Amino acid sequence: MVDLDNFRKEITPPLIGVIIAFFVIGIFLVFSGTNPLSAYLRMFTGSFGSIYNMAETLAVATPLLLAGLGIAIALKTGYVNLGVEGQLLIGAIAAAVAGLSFSVFKPIHLTILIIFCFAAGAAWSLIPGILREKFGSNELITGLLLNFVALYLVNYLVEGPLMQEGALFPQTARIHATAMLPRLLPRGRLHMGFIIAIIAVFLTYIILRKSVFGYELQMIGENPDAALRAGIDVSRKKLFSIIIAGGLAGLAGMGLVLGVHRRLMAGISPNYGYLSIAVALLGRLKAIGIFIASILFAAMLVGGDTMSRAEGVSFTIVYVLQGLIIIFLLLSDKLINR
């Protein structure tokens, strides 16, 4: 059952990538007069040191995990969904609109919200796909441009039509209680979105490993011409994978509004969408792998904050670390699995 050789092939590059990136940043820390071991220890205790910190790490992992699973499903066909950040933000907008505008029996409200936010993210993800089909526009670029449109749309809404009356910051009012995703622990911000993400992990595992659809996506990615000759409706399947990717990104944005902040505000996503691309790569486009990678990246973000305050290191070193992980992962994959 377990193919050990294959397992080793999959797990080695991410491990080496992470180790080398931490090592390189460690050397940098030494030169800047910080003890890397104590810095990394701070990072670890800041992210896993207590139940509260662990819960916070899982809360941050939730959007990375949801969006990352979507990235993987689309990337199976070779589609790099660079528009993920915008899809996430549109999901957040949809959550705020439907969470503020009406209130019904909680299970019904949440069901409506989940469907609505998935649809909103999916619809936004379809724009680059449609523009590609109709006009041949490069979907990488249109997706990226749409991210900025979505970003400024959020800013417009929270400064304008949806701004809370009398608020000092650009933010909406709190959503109705019936729209709030329940928190899982008495303290901290871990919310039911994490459960949704876990369900998405299982569904993605089944889709990618056990379903005909997953097999077809794999075939399209490896050789689109052969897939076409084998009778697979390539453009339809591809579009379907993009819809799932956009929808999952929409759910990621939904969780930020309904579970974490209980409102929409400017800067609600500190690059979670973009980072989810890195998470999907580090997780080797596999459901379980992405689960682990999302927790690792979340731990770096949450623990990086603690490290930055305790050791006086710039928080942005975490981004350098994450960028290096991607580069060293690609590198070790190339050198090991060629």
Partner 1 sequence: MSYYLSATFWVPLLYTAVMMSAPLLIASIGELFAEKSGVLNLGIEGIMITGASVGFIVSFLTKSNFLGVLGGATIGFILGLIFAFLVTTLELDQILTGIGVWIAGIGLGTLFIHEVNGVTTGSRIQTMGAFEIPLLSRLPLLGDILFSQNLLVYFSFILVPITAFIFYKTSFGLRIRAVGENPEAADSRGINVHRTRQWCVIIGGILAGIAGAYLPLAYVGSYSHMMTAGRGFMAIAVVIFANWNPSKTILGALIFSTSIAFQIRLRAVGVDIAAPLLHMIPYIVTLVALVIITRRAGAPSALTKPFIKKKGS
The residue range among 38-46, 152-160, 247-255, 287-295 that interacts with partner 1, by the rule CB under 8 A, is: 152-160
| DSSP letter for each residue of 52-98 | HHHHHHHHHHHHHHHHHHHHHHHHTTT---TTHHHHHHHHHHHHHHH
By CB under 8 A, is residue 64 in contact with partner 1?
Answer: no
**Residue 115 or 336 having the CB closest to partner 1:** 336
Q: Count the site residues for partner 1 by CB under 8 A.
A: 44
Q: What is the per-residue burial (b if ≥16 Cβ within 10 Å, else e) of 244-277?
A: bbbbbbbbbbbbbbbbbbbbbbeebbeebbbbbb
Q: How far apart are CA 22 and CA 12, in angstroms?
A: 15
Eight-state DSSP code of residue 171: B
**Residue 111 or 271 having the CB closest to partner 1:** 271
Q: How far apart are CA 272 and CA 291, in angstroms?
A: 15
Question: Smallest distance, Å, CB 326 to partner 1?
Answer: 3
Task: Using CB under 8 A, pick the residue from 146, 175, 217, 265 that binds partner 1.
Answer: 146
Q: How far apart are CA 328 and CA 16, in angstroms?
A: 8
Q: Work out the burial of residue 107: count CB atoms within 10 Å of its CB; fewer than 13 is exposed, 13-18 middle, 19 or more buried.
A: exposed
Kindly write out the interface string for residues 181-220 of this chain, putting x where it contacts partner 1 by CB under 8 A and - elsewhere. ----------------------------------------
Task: Using CB under 8 A, pick the residue from 16, 140, 198, 239 that binds partner 1.
Answer: 140
3-state secondary structure of 205: helix
By CB under 8 A, is residue 136 in contact with partner 1?
Answer: yes
Q: Interaction with partner 1 in 262-301: which residues (CB under 8 A)? A: 271, 274-275, 277-278, 281
**Residue 187 or 334 having the CB closest to partner 1:** 334
- Site residues for partner 1 per CB under 8 A: 32, 80, 131, 135-138, 140-142, 144-146, 148-149, 152-153, 155-156, 159-160, 271, 274-275, 277-278, 281, 313-314, 316-327, 330-331, 334
